[in-house]
Amino acid sequence: MSTGGEYRGLWAQFTHNLRANRLALVGLVVVLGLLVVALGAPWLTPHDPNAIDVEAILLPPSLSHPFGTDELGRDVFSRMIMGSRVSLEVGLISAGLATLIGVVLGALAGYYGGWVESTVMRFTDMMLCFPTFFLILAVIALLEPSILNIMAVIGLTSWMGVARLVRAEFLSLKEREYVVAAKSLGAGDLRIIFRHILPNAMAPVLVAATLGVAGAILVESGLSFLGLGVQPPEASWGNILNQGKANIEIAWWLSLFPGLAILVTVLGYNLLGEGIRDALDPRLTD
């Protein structure tokens, strides 16, 4: 197992590689910007996002309404800011749940092998056989559309890639000298798994989790666009797009701004994830 000095050296090398990747820094700025906007949403909204104003229906972008208004006269800029909280919440919690399930199942399969590995991996293969988005649609259609249900369903149907990554890492790490030494000293299986092997197998997991946030945001936006996600009057980028669909010829801003927000956010997380992967690649170290 790596010593504290080695960890500090690896961290310094990681940050150096990440800073050298301009696209990764762009992704980091986007992700941090979304976090700031989401956390500061109550103070950044110039109008009540749910306030109906019949005298301001479908107004184009202006100084008082930077992103225009919708068919009920609500300020789109304020609703976009509040929608960023939904996207961040769904993305982080869904990806966190998927990562947790994938890490546990992948660690058990890779460490124990035998029938445990066969059972876990056959279940993983079975889950991969189902088209994920249509599986989510089917489950959401049976449940009440809500943020909690969306987060749970996305997390419970997105762990397979993480499980396969962790299993592969455990298969290569469980025969290392520090694992053999820990076993000879009488360390239990759980201690070996979570204290000795897992910290050394987290690099691909970190990348997968970052990319998983982008995927979860995209799925939530798709569900909300189809009317199966976040329900009005609560704002999300997907349902703003859905509301703009009927007025796309006369109110282009209802489709442009939420579409750009989804594009930039998903692109930012993907750039950051790719940058983290490259920074952790030992072939790129000096």
Give the number of other CB atoms < 10 A from CB of residue 174: 20
Among the listed residues 183, 213, 184, the one whose alpha carbon sits nearest the alpha carbon of residue 195: 183
CA-CA-CA-CA torsion for 243, 158, 212, 95, nearest 10 degrees?
90
- Does the pTM surpass 0.75? The reply is yes
pLDDT by 10s per residue, the chain, length 286: 444 555 566 677 778 888 888 999 999 999 999 999 999 988 988 889 988 888 889 999 999 999 999 999 999 999 999 999 988 899 999 999 999 999 999 999 999 988 999 999 999 999 888 777 787 888 877 877 788 888 888 999 899 999 999 999 998 888 888 888 888 887 788 888 888 888 888 888 988 999 999 999 999 898 888 888 888 888 889 989 988 888 888 889 999 999 999 999 999 999 999 888 888 765 544 4
Rounded distance between C-alpha atoms, residue 38 and residue 85, angstroms: 5
Rounded distance between C-alpha atoms, residue 100 and residue 106, angstroms: 10
Structure tokens at 87: 């996207």
Backbone phi, psi, residue 75, to 5°: -75, 120
| Domain ranges across the chain | 4-284
Pick the CATH number of 4-284 from 1.10.600.10, 3.30.450.20, 1.10.3720.10, 1.10.10.10: 1.10.3720.10
